[in-house]
Amino acid sequence: MVDLSTATQLLAMGAGRLPRPASCHRTLLADGVVHVDYADPDHVFLVTVTQVPRVHLPTGDPVVADLDGVPVRLVDVELANHVTIALAATGPVAEQRLADVGYRLTDDVGTEYRLSTGESGGADHPWRARWQHLPTPPPDARLLRIEFADGRVVAVPLPGR
């Protein structure tokens, strides 16, 4: 039997460490609606895909840390179905250590954001790190606050609030 949690993991991440179901049949029913059948005698899954706009917030590209004399910049903050923080620096020292740049993400109404996923390096942006956080800002939040380990603080206004 494939339960909802397993089906969600299979659809989002592939089989990975999960046992692969004996059968999987997917049918596109409409834009954003997919029927998924794992040959379970008791149920099928109906998957709804929602397109979420990605909103890049103005940061001013400030220097937020220093790695052995190499400045680290906050190059992007974006909202979608999470909050993404993007840092960038130059040189091999930065590539290996961007994950060491500590920070805390909050907002003006006291929301504590937790790290969900992240990545650093790669062929396209070897000296860049992107970290996704949850939850998304609540409707009454007006300002994101990023406090870096050395005490530097960047306030980023939230749009349309």
H-helix or E-strand spanning residue 26: strand 25-30
Whether the per-residue pLDDT at 92 is higher than 70: the answer is no
Whether the per-residue pLDDT at 95 is higher than 80: the answer is no
Category of 93 on φ-ψ map: left (φ > 0), alpha (ψ -120 to 50) or beta? alpha
pLDDT, tens digit, 9 for 90 and up, residues 101-134: 899 999 999 999 999 998 877 666 668 889 999 9
Q: Return the structure tokens found at 114.
A: 């937790």
Q: Mean pLDDT in the chain?
A: 89
Beta strands at 70-79 and 25-30: parallel, antiparallel or unpaired: unpaired
pLDDT, tens digit, 9 for 90 and up, residues 29-82: 999 999 999 999 999 999 999 999 999 999 999 999 988 888 899 999 999 999
Q: Which residues pair with 87 in a beta bridge?
A: 74, 129
The answer to which of 81-85, 100-104, 134-138 has the lowest mean pLDDT is 100-104
SS3 content of the chain, % helix, strand, coil (to 5): 10, 45, 45
Residue 96: pLDDT band with limits 50, 70, 90: low
Compute the distance between CA of residue 109 and CA of residue 158 in angstroms, rounded to an integer: 12
Whether the per-residue pLDDT at 99 is higher than 70: the answer is yes
Whether the per-residue pLDDT at 94 is higher than 80: the answer is no
pLDDT, tens digit, 9 for 90 and up, residues 4-16: 888 888 877 776 7
Residue holding tokens 């680290």? 72
Compute the distance between CA of residue 48 and CA of residue 118 in angstroms, rounded to an integer: 25
Is the omega angle on the peptide bond into residue 58 within 30 degrees of 0, that is, cis? no
Residue 26: pLDDT band with limits 50, 70, 90: very high
All domains of the chain in start order, with CATH:
4-48 (no CATH), 55-157 (2.60.40)
pTM of the model: 0.79
